[in-house]
């Protein structure tokens, strides 16, 4: 019996898509989702007939391989949302298609092998990444994260977001991001130090005070930055401005630890003032009680706001009369989480986002507000302290309900803004007191909100698109002025 061939123009095209999966590039950030869709479609075609292109097992392994790379649904949404928001902003601004493509492509991508001796004498190898997205407005800026799921697609998206975020804040930086694929909890302090120093040795010629300035991120901290500073200085002389988020004793800025949470407060104040309200008397729900969430809760309480519910990875607690944040912070530090706190009632963490409140602050994971729960959200305002907590589908649902969302690209820019202040202090060799740091941060956050509102009025769009058009327009103007076509 003759085997029926299914080689058609469609299957041949899908075959090429499959064979080029490993060459996927972030020029189209939503491409990964498209490729997975093609894999599923090709599987159906191959199943319909004896197809010599690819067997089902090969396709299944390839699809599973993508999932093993850590491409969760949330991360696909983050990549797709980054591309979607940029392209919408470019359309509103009427950018030239060649300039639009140029702004998406990273300036430089770095991938290095980091091999270290472990404490038991064995050798271990890790892969480090640094994506430098754009330097049209100044040195590139972004965190370094240590996490077992660090991979190029995510790093590219986060580097691009840093480009727009620094432009919205109107600080003279471009965007970058980096990381090492490791589980920091499985490494000793000495192993983490050796890994950090090897990574710095591999990239020291590609970072610098006026080139690319790293900062802490997930899985890293001030000590990590201190190691980078020391290793970099062996090659280039003492250079405190090469990293930010350092310990104060090595040139770190006062107020840096609270900066993102304090920026969330200032951004919230600006949004509420626009509607004739103040923080005082408003009911807040905060998802996440790490650095950002805990500082935001503390500062909001000091400003007269009432934080009625909070969650972290261990559980959630609610008190309609307002939680005692000082006692909650003490309990969390002593018990490694808020679970068991006696100053409120334990509630289901999954229902926290839909609690009745005036202001909702997601300050933990991305993609937590989605089409499945957006209809049930009762908050009038959402302040995105986390990166990409709201999916595009949820955006549309919430907009129809009249919920105002202050986007992450503006709301959580307090951290990078105070990093800029630290960089300035290091270059000048003149340190500021904390009062000046906080005063300048409020000026920058308030001005960024005002500039975003102006773009909203100019382009008749919401706050998210107002922030994106503001950031993209500033980078595009700088790029054109510097002569990008030369």
Residue with more model confidence, 209 or 15: 209
Residue with more model confidence, 48 or 299: 299
Structure tokens given for 220: 């890293």
Contact criterion met (CB below 8 Å) for 309 and 315: no
Please check the confidence at residue 21 and state whether its pLDDT lies above 80.
no
Average pLDDT over residues 147-174: 91
- pLDDT value of residue 80: 72
Find the length of the chain. Answer: 486
Q: What is the pLDDT of residues 309-353, one digit of tens each?
A: 999 989 999 999 999 999 999 999 999 899 999 988 999 988 999
**For the chain, percent of residues with pLDDT exceeding 90:** 73
Structure tokens given for 82: 């980054």
- Spatial CB neighbours of 440, under 8 Å, sequence gap ≥ 6: 421, 432
- pLDDT value of residue 77: 52
Contact criterion met (CB below 8 Å) for 229 and 252: no
Please check the confidence at residue 116 and state whether its pLDDT lies above 80.
yes
CA atoms of 406 and 381, how far apart (whole Å): 8
Residue with more model confidence, 336 or 127: 127
**For the chain, percent of residues with pLDDT exceeding 70:** 83
Question: Catalytic site residues?
Answer: 177
Please check the confidence at residue 45 and state whether its pLDDT lies above 90.
no
Distance in Å from the first CA to the final CA of the chain: 63
- pLDDT value of residue 26: 36
Please check the confidence at residue 4 and state whether its pLDDT lies above 50.
no
Q: What is the pLDDT of residues 238-276, one digit of tens each?
A: 999 999 999 999 999 999 999 999 999 999 999 999 999
pTM score, two decimals? 0.83
Q: What is the pLDDT of residues 416-452, one digit of tens each?
A: 999 999 999 999 999 999 999 999 999 999 999 999 9
Q: What is the pLDDT of residues 174-233, one digit of tens each?
A: 999 999 999 998 999 999 999 999 999 999 999 999 999 999 988 899 999 999 999 999
Q: Which of 276-285, 293-302, 385-394 has the lowest mean pLDDT?
A: 385-394
- pLDDT value of residue 311: 93
Burial call 24-41: b when 16+ CB within 10 Å, e when fewer: bebeebbbbbebbebbee
Please check the confidence at residue 40 and state whether its pLDDT lies above 80.
no
Taking the mean position of all CA atoms in its chain, how far away is CA 202?
A: 24
The single-letter DSSP state of residue 252 is P
- pLDDT value of residue 78: 61
Q: What is the pLDDT of residues 48-89, one digit of tens each?
A: 444 444 444 444 444 444 444 444 444 445 667 777 899 999
- Spatial CB neighbours of 310, under 8 Å, sequence gap ≥ 6: 285, 286, 287, 289, 293, 297, 316, 317, 323, 328, 338, 352
Structure tokens given for 22: 């490993």
Please check the confidence at residue 368 and state whether its pLDDT lies above 70.
yes
- pLDDT value of residue 149: 82
Please check the confidence at residue 287 and state whether its pLDDT lies above 70.
yes
Residue with more model confidence, 24 or 195: 195
Mean pLDDT, the chain, integer: 86
């Amino acid at each position: 019996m003759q085997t029926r061939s299914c080689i058609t123009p469609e299957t041949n095209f899908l075959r090429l898509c499959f064979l080029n999966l490993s060459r996927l590039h972030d020029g189209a950030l939503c491409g990964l989702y498209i490729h997975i869709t093609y894999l599923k479609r090709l599987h159906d075609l191959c199943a319909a007939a004896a197809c010599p292109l690819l067997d089902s097992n090969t396709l299944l392994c390839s699809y599973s391989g993508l999932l093993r790379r850590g491409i969760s649904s949330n991360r696909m949404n983050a990549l797709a949302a980054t591309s979607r928001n940029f392209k919408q902003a470019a359309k509103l601004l009427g950018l030239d298609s060649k300039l639009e493509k140029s702004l998406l492509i990273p300036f430089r991508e770095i991938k290095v092998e980091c091999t270290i001796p472990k404490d038991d004498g064995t050798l271990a190898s890790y892969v480090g990444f640094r994506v430098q997205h754009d330097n049209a407005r100044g040195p590139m800026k972004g965190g370094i994260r240590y996490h077992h799921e660090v991979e190029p697609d995510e790093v590219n998206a986060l580097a691009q977001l840093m480009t727009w975020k620094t432009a919205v804040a109107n600080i003279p930086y471009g965007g970058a991001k980096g990381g090492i694929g490791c589980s920091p909890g499985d490494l000793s302090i000495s192993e983490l130090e050796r890994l950090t120093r090897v990574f710095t040795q591999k990239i020291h010629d590609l970072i610098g005070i006026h080139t690319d300035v790293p900062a802490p991120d997930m899985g890293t901290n001030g000590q990590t930055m201190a190691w980078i500073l020391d290793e970099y200085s062996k090659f280039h002389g003492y250079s405190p401005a090469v990293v930010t988020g350092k310990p104060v004793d090595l040139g770190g800025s006062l107020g840096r630890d609270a900066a993102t949470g304090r920026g969330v407060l200032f951004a919230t104040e600006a949004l509420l003032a626009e509607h004739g309200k103040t923080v005082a008397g408003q009911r807040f729900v905060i998802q996440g009680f790490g650095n950002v969430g805990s500082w935001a809760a503390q500062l909001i309480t000091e400003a007269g706001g009432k934080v009625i519910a909070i969650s972290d990875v261990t559980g959630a607690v609610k008190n309609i009369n307002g939680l005692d944040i000082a006692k909650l912070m003490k309990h969390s530090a002593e018990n490694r989480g808020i679970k068991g706190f006696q100053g409120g009632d334990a509630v289901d963490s999954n229902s926290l986002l839909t609690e009745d409140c005036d202001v909702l602050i997601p300050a933990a994971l991305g993609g937590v507000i989605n089409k499945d729960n957006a209809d049930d959200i009762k908050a009038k305002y959402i302040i995105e302290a986390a990166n990409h907590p709201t999916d595009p589908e949820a955006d549309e649902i919430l907009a129809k309900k009249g919920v105002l969302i202050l986007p992450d690209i503006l709301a959580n820019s307090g951290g990078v803004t105070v990093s800029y202040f630290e960089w300035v202090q290091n270059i000048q060799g003149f340190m500021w007191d904390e009062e000046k740091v906080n005063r300048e941060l409020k000026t920058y956050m308030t001005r960024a909100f005002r500039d975003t509102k102006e773009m909203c009025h100019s382009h008749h769009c919401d706050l998210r698109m107002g922030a994106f058009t503001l950031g993209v327009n500033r980078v595009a103007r700088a790029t054109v002025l510097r002569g990008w076509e030369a």
